[in-house]
Structure formats: C-alpha cells, structure tokens
Structure 1
C-alpha cells in the first residue's frame, strides 16, 4: 500500500523504514529533506529505498498547494493513507486525507488541537478545567492580554511546539523582552510560517503529565498510559525527561478529562498526546497535540508494551485497526541533557553507563566540533539522552538521574579578554 507522509520528525523514520520493510511505498513531502539527513541516522536509508519517493517543495506548507501535490501523486500512484509525526503539519495531514477521501482526523478537530487559542476557546464553557487565559490576535494585543490575566503568567505562540517561545513572565520587564524577541520570529524553519495569535495564561504551578491516547475509527477513545514530563526551571519550560507508566493516583481522573477534551474539540481519529498540569486544586488542561507523542517517548512505549507506535500510526492511516501500546508491566523512561554553556562540542563520553541496571540506550545528538548553544530556551537545545527500564516510575527515574553523572560532556568555550 502507498503512504503519503506530510513531513516527519527525526525519530519518525523508525516507522517509515518499518513500513518500507513491510513492502509499503512511502512518498514523503518536505520543504527541506536535507534537514532529516543531518539529524536522523535513519533518514538516509529511507531516502535510498526503492519504494521511497521524496518530494521537495518550498510551498507545501500551503494547504492548497499540498493538496495539489497529493492529487498529482495519487493520480499516478494511488495513495491509501495519509499521515505525519510532525506537530506543525497535523492540520495539513487532515486536509489531504479529507481531499483524497482517506481515513484521518476531521480538519476542524485537527485545527482545534493545533492552535492553542482554539483549544482554549472551544473548551471555555465546557467541563474540562483550564487556566484563565486571554487571546491576542496580533503582537499589538499581547500587552493587553497580559494585563487581563495578570502577573505571573505564561505566554505562548498559538502554533508553537517543543516549548519554543513559551515563557514565564513575572513583570513588565519580562514582557518587554519577550515582545522584542517574538518580533523577530516570522517562521519556525522548514517553510513553517508562524501565525500571529498568542495565548496568555495564568501561571499554574504543578507537575506536568500527559495522557497518551488513540482514537479509533468510529470515535472510540482508548487511553493507553501516562508520561511524566519533568521541566527545567523558569523562565522557560524545557522538558528534561519522560517516563511512560501507569498507576498514578489521579490516573482515572486524567483519563476521564482526556476523553471529555478530545470529544469537545472534535478529535475523532489517531494517536493523541494530551498534557495536564497537576495544580493544588486538581488537573488543569495544558494543551492537546493531535499526533503521536514526540521525542523518544514512542521508544519508551515499545519497551513497555512491545508495540511499535510509529508503525501503528501508519497502519491506522491505511485503514487498519492499530495495535495499541498498552503497558505490560514494565516501565521505561529517559532523561535528556544539554550544555550549561554555549561553545563548540568536543566530545560526549558515556563511560560505563551501559553496565548500569536497566540500561537501554545512551545517545548523543551532535557530532564533535559542532557549535552548540546553552540549554536555555526549548527542547531544541538538547544534546542527547539516556534511557532505562525498571519495575516502576520511581526506579526508572532514579536510574536515569544517576546515569547522567556518568556523562562526560566536553565543550570548548571562547573566553572574552
């Protein structure tokens, strides 16, 4: 069968390669295919595969242009499924699937999840707790929205991802600096144009945790498990780890809230990643992502369940009932790391980390002699990760934290004179 993939993400080539090995064809449309070759060791093999076609298009972020490309591909080689692993392209994927009459999420549901202001507005009068918020339709309205919500608050682009340009503001000085920074951000790279809307929310203290779900054909929502997401300190919100687990004291409440949120937003198909803040008064919805959870979490799902979620995304797009990565008694987790300073990466040495109990993987994302930034603003500042398994969430997190002490990170720094 033939899969039309709208962009991808570096880890998603696990699914692409597995689909190719199963005999499927894959057409990948990307504004910048070379990006994947630079960041994913799996991309080169996929691109060289005889059943993989890569279409480079600078205009593919335009939904009308993308649908035109998809129709041309479909006319010469019928497409059987449309999908993506990319947060930036969930609405595009839904629109192409609809245009070709193939399985997919409703365009309205995808849009309600993709744009954070639509999530807030759509659920504003419902039974899913949300922070107080204000919606600015353009940069000129951000200051007024902050004044409405009050300090401290959190400001975020409506269409952002990976915690990019998400900031905790404590006063007007923080706001002024944020406005100056955002004024220079017209796009997110790879042809992804930023929309002007910004959401300002009251700051809600508490642990960040997500529910991983799958909405089956027909609208049945199956909650699979939970992912904890420890964060870095203020003012940014960088995710520093993840553990895929079950058994949280608030699990049933989180599962019920997720079902209400997805139904309220009109999300009717696919793997979904829903984040909550565990405030002192109970769970509060952070955001909903209309795609499979990112980072290395799908690998954790596979370790804990035996199911390859990347491949199941493709199988579902092809009209098959996916196997669901429900935990089978084992817990898996990982921690990311970065550099405390900007400079040039010289080496990442993991020492004897592979001899530790529960070890699965230790991976560096950058090659030696690469310029790197300080871990400071978003998930894009990560330099690598470690992954471990264990009996439960507590054991896994302890193993990951202890293993980071084995990482020898060497960076050259230019000293001002």
Structure 2
C-alpha cells in the first residue's frame, strides 16, 4: 500500500518508520525535509529506506497546489491513504483525501477544528461550555475585543499550535507588548503562513486536561482516555508534562462533552485531541485538534495499551479499522524540561534518572553545541523529556517530578550584550 504523508512532526517519524517496516510505500511531502533530520533519530533511516520517497515542495501549505501535486503523485504511483501528524496540515490532508477519493475527515470538519475562531463560533450556544470570547479578523480590532472581554484574558492566534503566541493578558502593558510582538509574526516557519484571525477569551483558571478520541466514521465516536497537561506559569502556557490515564471523577462528563463538540464541528474521521479547562463551574472547552495528540503522548499510549497509535493513524487512512489504545492497568506519564537560561548545550545526561523507580525512558532533543533559548514561551522551547510508569496518575506524576532533579544539564551560558 502507498501512504502519502503531508508533512509530519518529529515524533511522528516513528509512524513512517513503522509503516516502512510493514512493507508499505511512504511518500513524504515537505517544505523542509531536513527539519526532521535535525530533530528525530529515526529520520535518516526512514529516508534511506528503498520504499520511502521524500518530495521537497514549496506547495505543502498551498492547498490548491498541494492537491495538484498529490494528483500527479497518485497518477504515477497510486496512493491508498493520505494522512498527517501535523496540526498545521490537517485541512490540507482532508482536501487531498477528498480529491483522491480516499478515507479522511470532511474539509469543513477539519477547518472547524483547525481554526479556533471557527470552533468557537460553530459551538456557540450548542450546549458545550466555552469561555466568553470575541473573534477578530483584523489586528486593529484586538484592543476593542479585550476591552469587551476584560482583564485578565487570553489572546491566541486562530491557527496556532504548541501554545505559540498564546498569552495571558493581565493589563494594558501586556496588551501593548502582545500586539507589538504579534505584528512581526507573518508565519510559523517551514512555509506555514499565519492567518490574521485572533481569538480573545475570558481567562478560565483550572487544570488543563484532554480527551483522546477516535472517530471511526460519521456518528461513531470512541473516547479512549484522558491526558493531564500541567502548565508552566503565566504569561505563557507551556505544557510541562502529560499522563495518559483513565478514571478521572469527571471522565464521563468530559467524554459526553467531547462527543457533542465533535458532532457539532462535523469532525467525522480520525484520531482527535480535545482539550478542556476544569474551571470553577465545571469543564470548559479549550480547543479541538483534528489529529492524533502530539509530543510524547502516543508513546505513553503504547506503553499502557500495547497499541502503536502512530501506526493506527496510518491503518485508518488506508481504510482499515484501527486498533484503539485504551489505557491499561499500568499508567504512563512524562515531563518535559528546558533550559533555565539562554545558552549552548554542552551535555545532557540521565545516568541518575535511569536508577529511579518506574523509569521507562529519557531523551535529549538537543545535541552538544546546539544553541537553545530559556524555557519561556512555547512548547518549542523543550530540550528533552523523561517517561515513567506507575500504578496510577499520582504516582507517575510524583516520579516524573522527582526525576527532573536528577537530570545533569550542562550549558555554556549566553553572554548578555
């Protein structure tokens, strides 16, 4: 079978590698294939595989041009499934699948999940609790929207991801600085152009938790489990850990709200990641992501369930019924870490971490000699992670947090000028 992957993400290279091992042909279309070489240790082997084709194309983020490219690839070597692990490319993937007549999410459903203002507007008044919000299509209207919602509030680009440019605004100074910073952001890198739409939302205090689901087809939504998402302090919202588990007191309510939200958005296919804030008055929808959850969580899913979610995404795209990674008896979780200051990585060692109870694995993302930024603005500031297992969520989180004190991070600090 021939799988067309529209971009990827660094951890998603595992899915490509596994598909190649199973004998599938994989074509990766990317604006910058070298990006994955620099990030994932699996990339070089995948690219060298005789069944892997890498197409470097500036068309990866232009839907019309991408569809034309996909149709040309399909004519040359018939494609049996099209998918992505990239949040930025869910709409593009849906459009290509539709054009080729292959399994995939409806384009409208993908757009409703991908663009946060469309999510808010589509679900407004349908029974899914949301924060008060205002959608603005012109940055000049942001200030008025903030005045209407009031401080404190949250500002977020409608098409962002990884908490990039999402900010807690507490006063006029924060607002001025945010608008000045955002004015200079025309894209997110690698050919991904930013749309002007911004959402201003009421700030809802509370724990961030997500529901992981798989939509097998229209009207067939299966909610799998929950992922906790501890955050760093304000003003940014950086996810610092994740535990994949089952058994939360609000689980049934969260599952029911997820089902209602996905139905309301027209999300009708694929693995889906839906985030909620557990506010003072109950769960409030944060956002919906029309793809498999990112980061280390698919690995956590595999540890506890024995099911490789990356591979199941590909199997579903090929028209097969995926095996579903429900949480098992063992709970798995991990924590990310970053640099305390700007500088250059000299070494990251986990020798003392590996001796801790429940240790599963650890990974440094940055090689010695790599310049890194202080962990301060988004998930892109991570420089590594640790993963532990335990009997339950509380034990896993305790083990992960304790392990952070045993990481040996050596850096050469940047000199202020």
Same-fold status (TM-score > 0.5):
yes
The answer as to whether partners of 2:7 and 2:60 remain within 8 angstroms in 1 is no
SS at match of 2:74: helix
Residue equivalent to 2:132? 132
Alignment of 1:216-295 (within 5 A): 216-295=216-295
CA distance, structure 2, for counterparts of residue 169 and residue 333 of structure 1: 30
Distance apart, 1:357 and its partner CA: 1.5
Question: Match for residue 160 of structure 1?
Answer: 160
Structure 2, gaps ≥5 residues long? none
| Matched residue, 2:380 | 380
Runs of 4+ residues over 2 Å off in structure 1: 414-417
Query: 1:324: which partner in 2?
Result: 324
Contact 2:342 2:414 in 1 (8 A): no
CA distance in 2, matches of 1:209, 1:69: 38
Change (3 A) 1:117 1:222: same
Asked whether the 8 Å contact 2:134–2:149 carries over to 1, the reply is yes
Per-residue CA deviations over 1:295-334 (Å, capped at 9, x if unaligned) read 0000000001000000000000000000000112110000
Counterpart CA distance in 2 for 1:144 and 1:305 is 48
Specify the alignment match of 1:200 in structure 2: 200
Partners of 1:34 and 1:228 lie apart in 2 by 32
Deviation at 1:276, TM superposition (A): 0.1
Equivalent in the alignment of 1:390: 390
| 2:61 counterpart residue number | 61
Aligned-CA RMSD value: 0.8
SS, match of residue 214 in structure 1: strand
SS in 2 for 1:11: coil
1:138-157 to 2 correspondence within 5 Å? Answer: 138-157=138-157
- Partner of residue 408, structure 1: 408
Q: Would you say the 8 A contact 1:211–1:258 is kept in 2? A: yes
CA contact (8 A) 1:2 1:27 kept: yes
Distance 1:150 1:378 in 2: 24
Within 2, Cα distance between the matches of 1:83 and 1:223? 21
> 25-34 or 346-355, which moves further after superposition?
346-355
- Corresponding residue of 1:336: 336
Aligned residue in 1 for 2:75: 75
- In 2, Cα distance between the equivalents of 1:171 and 1:414? 31
Q: Could you tell which deviates more after superposition, 350-359 or 223-232?
A: 350-359
- 1:359 and 1:22 map into 2 onto residues whose CA distance is 29
Q: How do 1:69-148 residues align onto structure 2 when only pairs under 5 Å count?
A: 69-148=69-148
Provide, for residues 362-416 of structure 1, a one-character-per-residue CA deviation record: whole Å limited to 9, x for no partner. 1111011111100000000001000001000000001101111100111212445
Tell me how many residue pairs correspond in the alignment: 417
Judged with a 3 Å threshold, the aligned counterparts in structure 2 of structure 1 residues 416 and 214 are, in CA distance, closer, same or farther, namely closer
Superposed displacement of residue 40, structure 1: 0.8
Q: Can you give the 5+ residue segments of structure 1 that lack an aligned partner in the other structure? A: none
Tell me what 2:399 maps to: 399
Which deviates the most, 15-24 or 266-275? 15-24
On the 8 A contact 1:219/1:269 being kept in 2, the answer is no
Point out the more displaced range, 137-146 or 297-306: 137-146
1:44 aligns with 2:63: no
d(CA) in 1 for partners of 2:416 and 2:97? 55
Deviations 1:96-150 (A, max 9, x none): 0000000000000000000000000000121000000001102111111111111
* CA apart distance, 1:349: 1.7
Distance in 1 (alpha carbons) for counterparts of 2:217 and 2:113: 18
Asked if 1 retains the 8 angstrom alpha-carbon contact of 2:31 and 2:58, the reply is yes
Taking structure 2 as the reference length, the TM-score comes to 0.99
User: Aligned partners of 1:60, 1:346: CA distance in 2, in Å?
Assistant: 35
TM superposition shift of 1:5: 0.5
Measure the CA separation in 1 of the matches of 2:122 and 2:415: 51
Q: CA deviation at 1:92?
A: 0.2
Secondary structure of 1:275's aligned partner: strand
